[in-house]
Amino acid sequence: MASGPCGCTVLVPKPGHTATKTYSADLGSPTGFRKLSDYDLGWEFTAHEARLDDLDALAGLVAGLAGRDAILVRGELTEAGREARDTANRRINPKRKGDRPSLRACARRWFMGDVDRLPMPEGLSVLRWEDHAAIIDATIRASFPPAFWYARCFWQFSNSAGLSVTDTVKIHLFFWLNGPVDDDHLRRVLKAHMPDIDHAPFNPVQPHFVTDPRVVGGRDPLAGRRTGWREGAAEAVLPALPPTPPRPARKARDTHHLYEDGGLEVPRVSNLPSTSFLDDLQRSLGDGPGRKGFHEPLRRATLRYAAQVAGGHTQRSDEQLIGLLLRLVAAAPTQRCRHALGLAYDHAYMRRLLAGAYRIISMEQNT
């Protein structure tokens, strides 16, 4: 029998495969650790269906899988998946004639928000256990609409938190919904209201990684503190957040010499001849209907800039670009809580984005 809205599918990789990352102690790295291996799920799984009646049951399931190799998926098992329980696949569509996918779409009562893009709030550190409550609160208020601010939440720091990354929030936030919600609706809601949340988990087969990282030759700095609770007045969150209607088409306008937003004029950088990506950035940057938050638009803009520099289409002028980006951030519509909670998109943050963009472009050129 299908697990339905109050269920969850657990997939366990076959021996020789893993649902976690492995790190080793490395005093030469900025965080003191380096990654040895990534996820390697393979193609076949042992499948289980878990009945979940509330958030406590979901939290218990996640906590119980922390020391095992396992993933969660939102899809439910098909008849073929239940028959082939020890050789289940992670597909909803057949790859060839006669193929029998093990999963199908299913509306669920639970929701996991994967946040991996926000800068760490100023003055807080994932390595200080006493800061965890403030990090969780800041993340929810900056990334989720008000319906989630006062809801009970179970949280889990993701694999890279504290090991390969300390200056960016890397966390899973589990909420219980007051009714079943399908993946399509969740994606529409997230796109409109939660641009900082990873949209990938909202399909029937996408892995939800819940296994703790493995550390060789050292100790996980978050051992025993990767999960916890944020208590709230509401046990369940309203799932029916109305998706924002499409924005009307904008008339073409001349943007060859300045950007305008709320009366603020931002001059175009004179020696950056190919800066069309800044037009897209201005339209998408910020909070509110039709906007995509801050980190993702800025990340895409710096990647496009780095690619243009590498290709010889744009003169490298990092400091001038950073100055322009900072002015665009200041002009963009912003939720008050971002500044109040110290979520600073400042000069140091822009430098980190640019450095990461150059590394990515360099790796692509060398492959």
Measured CA to CA, the distance from residue 56 to residue 229 in angstroms comes to 10
Residue 56 in this model has a pLDDT that exceeds 60: yes
Beta strands in the chain (DSSP E): 7-13, 22-25, 33-37, 45-51, 71-73, 76-77, 103-104, 108-115, 153-157, 171-181, 208-209, 214-216, 227-230, 258-261, 264-267
Q: Residues 171, 276: one domain?
A: no
Domain boundary among 180, 212, 230: 230
More confident residue, 222 or 195: 222
Q: What is the pLDDT of residue 240?
A: 56
Measured CA to CA, the distance from residue 295 to residue 344 in angstroms comes to 11
Q: Residues 150, 106: one domain?
A: yes
Q: What is the pLDDT of residue 335?
A: 65
The answer as to whether 121 is a domain residue is yes
Q: Residues 274, 180: one domain?
A: no
Q: Residues 312, 177: one domain?
A: no
Q: What is the pLDDT of residue 162?
A: 94
Q: Residues 162, 311: one domain?
A: no
More confident residue, 4 or 126: 126
Residue 3 in this model has a pLDDT that exceeds 90: no
Task: Give the closest residue to 298 by CA, choosing from 237, 351, 342, 252.
Answer: 351
Measured CA to CA, the distance from residue 133 to residue 221 in angstroms comes to 17
Q: What is the pLDDT of residue 267?
A: 40
The answer as to whether 243 is a domain residue is no
Q: Residues 202, 262: one domain?
A: no
Overall average pLDDT of the 104-115 stretch: 93
Top-ranked range on mean pLDDT: pick from 115-119, 213-217, 311-315:
213-217
**In which region does residue 4 sit, left (phi positive, over 0), alpha (psi from -120 to 50) or beta (all else)?**
left
Q: What is the pLDDT of residue 365?
A: 66
Q: What is the pLDDT of residue 320?
A: 85
CB 58 within 8 A of CB 154: yes
Residue that the structure tokens 């990938």 belong to:
200
Q: Residues 109, 209: one domain?
A: yes
Q: Residues 101, 20: one domain?
A: yes
Q: Residues 94, 171: one domain?
A: yes
Q: Residues 21, 118: one domain?
A: yes
The answer as to whether 155 is a domain residue is yes
Q: What is the pLDDT of residue 85?
A: 83
Whether the pTM exceeds 0.75: the reply is no
Q: Residues 342, 223: one domain?
A: no
Measured CA to CA, the distance from residue 21 to residue 112 in angstroms comes to 20
Task: Compute CA distances 133 → 130, 139, 163, 164, 230, whole Å.
Answer: 7, 10, 19, 21, 7
The answer as to whether 246 is a domain residue is no
Residue 158, judged by CB atoms within 10 A of its CB (0-12, 13-18, 19+), counts as buried
pLDDT digits (tens, 9 = 90+) for 157-190: 999 999 998 888 999 999 999 889 899 888 888 8
Residue 224 in this model has a pLDDT that exceeds 80: yes
What residue type is assigned to position 121 of the chain?
P
Q: What is the pLDDT of residue 364?
A: 65
pLDDT digits (tens, 9 = 90+) for 277-329: 777 788 888 877 778 788 878 888 888 888 888 877 777 888 888 888 888 88
Overall average pLDDT of the 54-72 stretch: 95
Q: Residues 25, 115: one domain?
A: yes
User: What are the tokens at 345?
Assistant: 């998109």
Residue 256 in this model has a pLDDT that exceeds 60: no
CB 19 within 8 A of CB 209: yes
Residue 331 in this model has a pLDDT that exceeds 50: yes
Q: What is the pLDDT of residue 242?
A: 54
Residue 262 in this model has a pLDDT that exceeds 70: no
Helices (H), the chain: 55-64, 79-83, 132-143, 183-193, 277-284, 295-310, 318-331, 336-340, 347-365
What residue type is assigned to position 77 of the chain?
L
Overall average pLDDT of the 83-104 stretch: 92
The answer as to whether 247 is a domain residue is no
Backbone angles phi, psi at 46, to 5 degrees: -90, 125
Residue 232 in this model has a pLDDT that exceeds 80: yes
Q: What is the pLDDT of residue 45?
A: 97
CB 273 within 8 A of CB 315: yes
Q: What is the pLDDT of residue 259?
A: 30
Tell me the percentage of the chain whose pLDDT exceeds 90: 43
Residue 123 in this model has a pLDDT that exceeds 80: yes
Tell me the pLDDT of the chain averaged across its residues.
83
Number of domains in the chain: 2
The answer as to whether 176 is a domain residue is yes
CB 214 within 8 A of CB 22: yes
User: Structural domain of residue 338, as residue ranges?
Assistant: 258-365
Helix axes 295-310, 318-331, angle to 10 degrees: 160
Can you tell me whether residue 77 is helix, strand or coil?
strand
The answer as to whether 140 is a domain residue is yes
